[in-house]
Structure 1
Amino acid sequence: MNRFIITIQLILFSVFSFAQTGQLSISRIDLMPDLPAPLQIRNWNLVTTDYDSYVFDVNKTGQYLPLSRLGTQGQFNYPDNIPLFLNSYVGSNGHLNHGEAINIMPAVIGASLVGVDKSNQNGHNWVARTKDFFNLKNGQNVYLNNYSATSGGDWWYDLMPNVYFYQLKSLYPEAAPEFESQFISVAEQWLYCVNQLGGSTTPWTVPYMNYRAFNLATGLPLTTGVPEPESAGSIAWLLYNAYLETGERKYFEGAQLSMDFLAVFESNPSYELQLPYGTIAAARMNAVERTNYPIQKMLDWSFDRGHLRGWGAIVGNWGGYDVSGLIGEANDNGNDYAFIMNGFQQAAALAPLPKYDKRYAKAIAKYILNVANASRLMYWNALPQTHQDSYSWASVNDPTACIPYESMKQVWQGKRPFAMGDAIGGGWAATNLSLYSGSSVGYLAGIINTTNIQEILQIDLNKTDFYGDNAHINYLYFNPTSENKQVYVDLPSGTFGIYEALTEVVLHTSASSSIQLAIPSGEARLISLYNSGLVPASSDGRLYAGENVLDYHYLYDFSENIRIKTISTDLNPLIINSTFTAYCEPGNVQSGDQVQFSWFMDGVLMPGNNQSQVNLTAPSYPKQLVLKCIISHNGKTAEDSLQISVVERIPIPPVVNGIQSNSAYVPTGGSNTFTALVDPTPGEVLSYLWSATTGQLNQTSGNSVVWQAPDTPTVANISLVVTNQDLLSTTVSVGALVKDTSLPAQNPMIWYPFDSNNFNAAANNHHAVAVGVSKTDDPRGMPSLAYRFTSGQNIIYTENHENLNFGEAVTLSCWVKCEQFSTERFILSHGSWQQRYKLSITPEGVLRWTVKTDTGIADLDGSAPIDLNRFYHVTASYTGYSMELYVDGVLDAFKEFSGIIQASSKPFTIGRMDNSETLYALRGSVDEVKVWDKEIPVSQIAELKDQWATPAGLGENDFFIRVYPNPAQDKIFIEFPYNTSLEQVSLYSSDGKKVSVVLSVLQNSKFELKLSETSAGLYLLKVILKDGQVFSRKVLVKI
């Protein structure tokens, strides 16, 4: 490496004699004050440790306390683990049953960033407890926001837990033995996402990632809802760090593919908080890998207001308080809405950036000063009591003011500003004091320290640079005052050389204990500490101290050289003498540039192959082949190589297409047969190894096995490993549902026949209210006996009640016809997935049953899309051990799931998500809605589709009522499930004549009808209640 030594004259130097040069502006930050007023920087380290002590105290007492508890060992994904539950808000509904990764994991990371050892704190390894967020049991194989969740609904909930896990692993690489395999699985899954969305290196094809989410189970993106294209940046962040840790080039290729999509996106992709992670990843890749991603554009996006949600950096003064730097709804027209977590995360994500692109040092430092100042306003001790909505609890129970409000309105009810949140208004909690927000406070605390100058912060550029270049200690300072300042910098033990990157000066060659750093008014300084025995030297535009980079852009060299993004082949390994295609993708070139390509195999030039894509032939014997490509343009060259295995035969794992079950379910203690569906290649020798999580197998080998179910209802897992003669294996599994077939039939607590009114035919309560819906034909074609929904303004709802918030089990049934997909369509809902449960239809036309319990949120999808404009009878059941979907009385899908169903503050709704959200309203018809607060037998489910309130051929309403015996002889009993009063009871013969009967009241809900003068035949019984309800029933009389 050719380097030159910096001359000794630069070693000791007065920076006052030089003006700061080379700094670039970020337009939104330019609008922020250099010195916010009033300037009050809290001791954020102390806030973090106070918060940590408070929320992790599982024995704390008081109203809404404690805020956390430990779960049961083996409750979720790992049998040895005890999970943590932490409320998302103070006073949350479902107290102590919240387990959100975006709350718990940042709390562990944040405390660690200020020096708390969370792997060994009061006997707890809080770091290892988070491993349960890796959704292993359900096959998602990534970190998700709940202990049992499904990807594909919202990218920020799906991706950020993985970002947090990578951060946690960088801090505690050996805290849990599973971390290594989880790290690889996360990278593999999100690389799979990139590839599924069109990303490829053969040839280089940029994926399309402008979606709301991606379902890792189905391999499909979510095409409805507000898209989150910024997620490409967080995926790039994950994959680039995976590359740095493993050296696997496929992860670097995936990171570049994701970043290529983001780099050319035409509008601001900002949605929540992932964009800064993409921005820092791009800056690191530009510096370390010499890519040329548009950092200026990405930084502007990170702070400017984006059109997707109006998200951006707040600028301005609210009621005498400078609030610039907060992140949220940046409308700039008097109704801004800032969220504290987003500022914490953005500051931490972007803090390391000046290390990789020093042109933005001043802008980033100025931003961090502003956000560090303004964030205090969201704690109860900062604003007057009348300017916040949860003061009474906070002032009594949070004496150190360590739990913040979720957000702050610019103006609320005439008060400016106003600290609040969305939880009270949304019915989620009794306060707007937000733990999921406060858990990120350590991210801000970790990057800043105060100095001897009140207005100047010391910003640590390494603390949140996870997996980054942290070989040297790096500090950033910004002087926002109108005077030159001298800052005292305390040094760690040892002797250091000190390099200042913005003026490119070696300030000291041998400093210890402390130094004074001169910072002119309005300027920034970035210092790096290196071993004092080294002499900095430059090479290829960088400044080094030994082998470590001090300055990635020495002499402000930001020139771009041609590079190779990837060299790849369509096959690897290769079979001898086979033809293969090789690809080389140049980087840092413009469209239309004439790039020359030269290909080499084992150092031998392949003449005539001078394109980016070439067809080559493998050698005629096995070996390790080195394929190299050299590219050139305008006198500059770059090269890369790839090792390829050349073999006589490529062993492949057995092809196993699944496991066939002889029965959809099995009774307790019964048996079922499972058969492997294999497709062996000619001559392939296969062996089989079966296992079951419960019950007994008659054997563990062979293509087919008989399994005896346990004596209790459950969902078992039957697994099979098929191995061939090359010792390559394929593993498949299938669920086995075990049902108690002796259960008796159960009466529903709600039955809405919808024939003549909206009353509950099962009991004299929980009657429904219909708004905007219209009468339509029922599934049998009988007119005006069902309801049709045509817009988001149509709804049928039942007021919420504690009786509807049962927790052990639930069964729902109804007829439904969908006329239009296009977005998710809600059929039945009680607080939706956010609170309790919902039955819906996905944009692809698949039935989806979703339940939220104290163990997490789970989706169960139907096996195939339904048809438009056709009625289906659907039954959805949660039993406490399973989720089940039945279509037209037949079991269609099931999965294991457990826990207590969470309560809802919303009404029970038909045709809508809830009583306020209209976006996902049903377009279609619903009939015969029933709700049970328990599991019902499979035999009863099979009969539901044939049970009607109004029998075919009769036009009057037949409410839920027992009429027995039928056939009858001398008397009939009429029984209601609730007390009622009769207005009139009539019996008519088949020719329409009224028959004389004697009515007796036995109880308020039971009546006797004597048939003393009635002859044999078919009669129509008609009953009119005092409230006007009418029902009818056919009765057969035998003499």
Structure 2
Amino acid sequence: MNRFFLGGIILLLIFSLIIEEVLGATQKAIEQIKVQRIESMPDLPSPLLIRDFKKIAIDYDKFVFDFERRGVFLPLGWWDKTHYNLDSDTFGLLTFVGSKTQFDIDGKPIDGSQEGINCIAAVLSATLVGIDKSSQRGYNYVKMTQTFFNKENREYLVLNNPFTTSGKSFWYEIFPHILFYGLVYHYKDVEEMRNIMKITADRWHDAVLKLSGAGGIPNFNHTAFMFSVMEPVDNGRWTEPDAAAGVALLEYWAYKEFKDPKYLEATKRAMNFLEIIDYNPIYEVLGYFAPYVAARLNAEEGVNYPVEKFMDWVFNRESDVRPGWGMITGKWGEYTVDGLFGSITDGGGYAFSMNTFDAAFALVPVARYDLRYAKAIGKWMLHLTNNAKLFYKDCLPEENQSSYWWREEPSYVIPYEGLRKIKDGRSPFAGGDGWGKTDFSLYSGSHVGFLGSIVSKTNIEGILQIDLTKTDFFKDRFYPTYLYYNPYDADKEIIIELGDKPKDVFDLLKEEFVHRDKSGKVNITIPAKEALVVAFTPPKGKVKHQNNKVLINNIVVSYNHFSDGKDYKKSFSSFSPWILTLFLTSIGVATMYIVRKNKRRRR
């Protein structure tokens, strides 16, 4: 056979491989999954008015932690000198402005009455918006939160009060751990923080094993777990099976921190329980973390938990164990309330500020690990961020509030506990359940930094910058990653600030660079009613695909574990090295062929 003919055949084979790679790489971008009740929301909330929740969180910290402030129901915090579980003083915060249960007969705050879901949250919330709570005006508030690690009574758990026991309520006994682990992530050098995390993670690991049946799947359909006897508790009135999501989160964070595979095994056992049940288990806030844990496990551990099922629990279905509990949609009076969380049925609807802030904390990172939900989460967060203003005094008429008369706080940084659809003919109505002499809730306001650290405005009103990494704790090495959603009928150009040092801007949904080696301000166009997810990466970074992960300079920027690897776009720079080698080789072979052919003609 003529060697040039053979060379031509080889050349065609090489080009066919290249064409197959190119065609496979230029198919449709990652398809977005629609979430029914988010889809039903209007494109834009009304009235559109985005508050600066980061500033609210900073001002909240300044006001609430001023223990020298005087006035009606002030100060809101105190120094606790009982030394429960500590060798030094700690602090306490009132649960409500004018709390009815936290003062003695002399009008002094009762030491030990402070709540972990309030105090630990306040420290974490401030941390997330940039305040160093380990060294603030000479105080180490991070260390002080160790008062909630109940070791003097041998519980060895981070509980909701400094001297209490387990076995009353799963969420009150798991959520303080979640908040505390968040502090560990940010303050690993503070004495005893990691050690407490390790001790408590071991305790919850043992609880998972105790709850597990013959098949290795634990049963979380109980009210609580009593560690003193290592047995589940059923009070005969309610169960809290979404505790499985909370425990799975704790155990996975422990796995990422300590690298002990027993924690990963406990994580999977808890998630297996959620996977097999056929009812919505959400009781309070712990169930909000189920989609995040599932998406992260799928991405990082190569498993296949049903993220869509868990997202359906959170957004589309009412809870089966707490009827009416879910995400609120619609319009109350003249205000849209889409995206807030609470009861859909209580009095026609009752949204809670704490639950709303915690939902943002739990669910925003889902879009980092499962990009199919970028658009849904972007739209939901626009509505939540806009409508969360209704929890604050300055955003409703005086007659639509229960405690407008309290005027000691001029910056309006303490939210109402909740927002009712209607009360006494007024809709909506901000108030609470009556646990204080006012309904201004510190146990809710102490969570505002979760929202404030995640969202910020852009140059286009109604298009937010959403940080997908801020509440994604114990993560591997990462690049800053942001989600933007355009709710308008036309394409919009946003301005992004990159800072002084040059960066690349990488589009995760299209898997291509939109800017290279740029600093300062750059413009990016977002198509109408679409989402954009970008990572800020080092200039001239090298893209690599490995096991359905996209890496730049060997750091993962995105995951495509939910596809066969051919249904998303690749930039030419991300083609595998062997394809580039074949491409260059084919050019060389073609050149040699042409040169040899020309020489023969000259003869």
Please say whether Structure 1 and Structure 2 have the same fold, judged by a TM-score greater than 0.5.
yes
Q: C-alpha distance in 1, partners of 2:442/2:44?
A: 30
The secondary structure found in structure 2 opposite 1:187 is: helix
Structure 1 residue aligned with 2:430: 419
CA shift for structure 1 position 71: 1.1
Aligned counterpart in structure 1 of residue 384 of structure 2, from 354, 371, 376: 371
- Which aligned pairs between 1:974-989 and structure 2 lie closer than 5 A? none
Structure 2 residue aligned with 1:189: 203
Structure 2 residue aligned with 1:322: 336
CA shift for structure 1 position 511: 2.0
The secondary structure found in structure 2 opposite 1:397 is: coil
Aligned counterpart in structure 2 of residue 22 of structure 1, from 15, 19, 31: 31
Q: C-alpha distance in 2, partners of 1:178/1:349?
A: 26
Count of aligned pairs: 534
Q: C-alpha distance in 1, partners of 2:213/2:132?
A: 40
Deviations 1:108-153 (A, max 9, x none): 1111111111111111111111011000101110100000011010
Structure 1 residue aligned with 2:573: none
CA shift for structure 1 position 381: 0.6
The question of 1:246 aligning with 2:258 is answered: yes
Q: C-alpha distance in 2, partners of 1:19/1:249?
A: 38
- Which aligned pairs between 1:541-940 and structure 2 lie closer than 5 A? 541-553=548-560, 556-557=563-564
CA shift for structure 1 position 352: 1.2
Q: C-alpha distance in 2, partners of 1:127/1:260?
A: 34
Q: C-alpha distance in 2, partners of 1:372/1:199?
A: 42
Aligned counterpart in structure 1 of residue 42 of structure 2, from 29, 33, 40: 33
Structure 1 residue aligned with 2:242: 230
The question of 1:478 aligning with 2:485 is answered: yes
- Which aligned pairs between 1:518-529 and structure 2 lie closer than 5 A? 518-529=525-536
Instruction: Summarize the Cα distance change of 1:556–1:292 in structure 2 as closer, same or farther, 3 Å threshold.
Output: closer
Q: C-alpha distance in 1, partners of 2:371/2:393?
A: 37
The secondary structure found in structure 2 opposite 1:377 is: helix
Write 1 or 2 for the structure with the bigger share of helix: 2
Q: C-alpha distance in 1, partners of 2:119/2:257?
A: 25
CA contact (8 A) 1:504 1:555 kept: no
CA RMSD for the aligned pairs?
Answer: 2.0
Runs of 5+ consecutive residues of structure 2 not aligned to the other structure: 1-17, 104-108, 567-603
Structure 1 residue aligned with 2:64: 55
Q: C-alpha distance in 2, partners of 1:552/1:199?
A: 34
Aligned counterpart in structure 2 of residue 89 of structure 1, from 90, 96, 99: 96
TM superposition score normalised by structure 1: 0.50
What amino acid is the match of 2:462? Answer: E
Instruction: Summarize the Cα distance change of 1:389–1:20 in structure 2 as closer, same or farther, 3 Å threshold.
Output: farther
CA contact (8 A) 1:35 1:480 kept: yes
Instruction: Summarize the Cα distance change of 1:391–1:126 in structure 2 as closer, same or farther, 3 Å threshold.
Output: same
CA contact (8 A) 1:134 1:142 kept: yes
Q: C-alpha distance in 1, partners of 2:178/2:77?
A: 23
The secondary structure found in structure 2 opposite 1:140 is: coil
Q: C-alpha distance in 2, partners of 1:538/1:558?
A: 9
Deviations 1:576-620 (A, max 9, x none): xxxxxxxxxxxxxxxxxxxxxxxxxxxxxxxxxxxxxxxxxxxxx
Instruction: Summarize the Cα distance change of 1:18–1:367 in structure 2 as closer, same or farther, 3 Å threshold.
Output: farther
- Which aligned pairs between 1:283-298 and structure 2 lie closer than 5 A? 283-298=295-310
What amino acid is the match of 1:184? Answer: K
CA shift for structure 1 position 541: 1.9
The question of 1:125 aligning with 2:132 is answered: no
Q: C-alpha distance in 2, partners of 1:365/1:485?
A: 15
The question of 1:147 aligning with 2:162 is answered: yes
CA shift for structure 1 position 557: 3.9
Deviations 1:751-784 (A, max 9, x none): xxxxxxxxxxxxxxxxxxxxxxxxxxxxxxxxxx
What amino acid is the match of 2:301? Answer: E
Once structures 1 and 2 are overlaid, which stretch shifts more, 19-28 or 134-143? 19-28
Q: C-alpha distance in 2, partners of 1:409/1:18?
A: 48
What amino acid is the match of 1:77? Answer: N
What amino acid is the match of 1:279? Answer: P
Aligned counterpart in structure 2 of residue 274 of structure 1, from 286, 292, 307: 286
Aligned counterpart in structure 2 of residue 113 of structure 1, from 115, 128, 132: 128
CA contact (8 A) 2:339 2:384 kept: yes
What amino acid is the match of 1:182? Answer: I
Deviations 1:189-245 (A, max 9, x none): 101110111268xxx511111111001111111122211111100100000110111
Q: C-alpha distance in 1, partners of 2:409/2:195?
A: 40
Instruction: Summarize the Cα distance change of 1:558–1:222 in structure 2 as closer, same or farther, 3 Å threshold.
Output: farther
What amino acid is the match of 1:537? Answer: K
Aligned counterpart in structure 2 of residue 384 of structure 1, from 388, 397, 407: 397
CA contact (8 A) 2:477 2:555 kept: no
Q: C-alpha distance in 2, partners of 1:321/1:552?
A: 38
Instruction: Summarize the Cα distance change of 1:63–1:334 in structure 2 as closer, same or farther, 3 Å threshold.
Output: closer
CA shift for structure 1 position 362: 0.5
CA shift for structure 1 position 33: 2.1
CA shift for structure 1 position 555: 9.5
CA contact (8 A) 1:537 1:543 kept: yes
Percent identity of the aligned residues? 38
Instruction: Summarize the Cα distance change of 1:478–1:374 in structure 2 as closer, same or farther, 3 Å threshold.
Output: same
CA contact (8 A) 1:482 1:522 kept: yes
CA contact (8 A) 2:422 2:428 kept: yes
Write 1 or 2 for the structure with the bigger share of strand: 1
TM superposition score normalised by structure 2: 0.86
Instruction: Summarize the Cα distance change of 1:20–1:481 in structure 2 as closer, same or farther, 3 Å threshold.
Output: farther
Structure 1 residue aligned with 2:503: 496
The secondary structure found in structure 1 opposite 2:393 is: coil
CA contact (8 A) 1:22 1:556 kept: no
Aligned counterpart in structure 1 of residue 179 of structure 2, from 157, 161, 164: 164
CA contact (8 A) 1:20 1:523 kept: no
What amino acid is the match of 2:151? Answer: L
CA shift for structure 1 position 282: 1.2
Aligned counterpart in structure 2 of residue 103 of structure 1, from 112, 118, 130: 118
The secondary structure found in structure 2 opposite 1:392 is: coil
Structure 2 residue aligned with 1:611: none
What amino acid is the match of 2:366? Answer: L
- Which aligned pairs between 1:1020-1039 and structure 2 lie closer than 5 A? none
Deviations 1:258-304 (A, max 9, x none): 00001111100111101122221111000000110000010110123
Deviations 1:150-174 (A, max 9, x none): 1010001000000001001101111
Q: C-alpha distance in 2, partners of 1:288/1:511?
A: 30
The secondary structure found in structure 1 opposite 2:95 is: coil
Structure 1 residue aligned with 2:212: 198
CA contact (8 A) 1:118 1:127 kept: yes
CA shift for structure 1 position 83: 1.6
What amino acid is the match of 1:157? Answer: Y
Instruction: Summarize the Cα distance change of 1:493–1:275 in structure 2 as closer, same or farther, 3 Å threshold.
Output: farther
Q: C-alpha distance in 2, partners of 1:470/1:349?
A: 20
Q: C-alpha distance in 2, partners of 1:343/1:118?
A: 24
What amino acid is the match of 2:556? Answer: V
Structure 1 residue aligned with 2:592: none
Q: C-alpha distance in 2, partners of 1:517/1:470?
A: 26
CA shift for structure 1 position 20: 6.6
Q: C-alpha distance in 2, partners of 1:160/1:377?
A: 25
Structure 2 residue aligned with 1:431: 438
Structure 2 residue aligned with 1:841: none
Q: C-alpha distance in 1, partners of 2:563/2:241?
A: 32
Larger Rg: 1
Instruction: Summarize the Cα distance change of 1:149–1:558 in structure 2 as closer, same or farther, 3 Å threshold.
Output: farther
Q: C-alpha distance in 2, partners of 1:365/1:556?
A: 22
CA shift for structure 1 position 533: 3.4
The question of 1:76 aligning with 2:84 is answered: yes
The question of 1:403 aligning with 2:414 is answered: yes
CA contact (8 A) 1:102 1:145 kept: yes
CA shift for structure 1 position 317: 0.5
Q: C-alpha distance in 1, partners of 2:122/2:354?
A: 12
The question of 1:510 aligning with 2:517 is answered: yes
